[in-house]
Amino acid sequence: MLSIFSQFNKGDVITIGVIFSCLLLYAVFPTNNIFQQIISSVTFLFVIPVLYVKIILKRSLKEFGIQKGEWKTGLIWIMISLAVAFLILYIFSHYFGFFDKYSVPRFIRRNFFLFIGYEIFLTGFFVALYEIFFRGFVMFFFRTKIGYWSVIVQGVAFFLLFWLSSSINWPIAPYLIFVLLGGLVAFYSRSIIYSFASNLLFIIVVDSVFIKLIK
């Protein structure tokens, strides 16, 4: 345990403080509509982390997963992660009635083009922000310090965000199912591109299945 803590210096402690500050501010920042939620998300999950990396840490964004990475490894882990995620989804659906509790906005249920636009632009937008902050900023920071444990850390941070904001519910379940799997994809591929793609694809499939079942 002491050997783990010895990996961190004063600068690292400040970075950890920035991470928790962003999580706390995002969780408590008042948002009454989707526009305010977008502003809050962009500010605390993108702008502040990126500026901190570039101005304070003076490091390249490539070190935080914003790069092509190992594309062959990325594709392999995309397939592995999706297979595991769909197995978990089957278990949740078969034994816990997942799709009886899950929901998507009504306006996308009967219009294919609205569905595609919603998934690509709105869902894709938030998935990208989560990838940049949790897999990029959080995991790749801890990766050089604690190795594989960084995958767990970013998963805990993700859960903590939604717990602090009282947003733990069934519609957020696909994100929680994929949080560790996405971490593994990014960890081994050294890029958040592949975790983003697999995470978004998983959510689109989950939403598609739900709409198919309620028709």
Domain tally, the chain: 1
User: Is residue 127 in some structural domain?
Assistant: yes
Query: Could you give the 3-state DSSP secondary structure of residue 7?
Result: coil
Does residue 15 fall inside a structural domain? no
Whether 8 is covered by a domain: the verdict is no
Residue 82 lies in a domain: yes
Handedness of CA 136, 141, 143, 144 (dihedral sign): positive
Give the integer Cα–Cα distance in Å for 70 and 192. Answer: 11
- Domain range for residue 144? 63-214
Does residue 69 form part of some domain? yes
Residue 174 lies in a domain: yes
In three-state secondary structure terms, 18 is helix
- Each residue's pLDDT, cut to its tens digit, for the chain (215 residues) gives 445 556 778 889 999 999 999 999 998 888 888 899 999 999 999 999 999 999 999 999 999 999 999 999 999 999 999 999 999 999 999 999 999 999 999 999 989 999 999 999 999 999 999 999 999 999 999 998 899 999 999 999 999 988 887 778 888 999 999 999 999 999 999 999 999 999 999 999 999 999 999 87
Residue 12 lies inside a defined structural domain of this protein: no
What pTM was computed for the model? Answer: 0.93
Q: Which two tokens stand for residue 13?
A: 């402690």
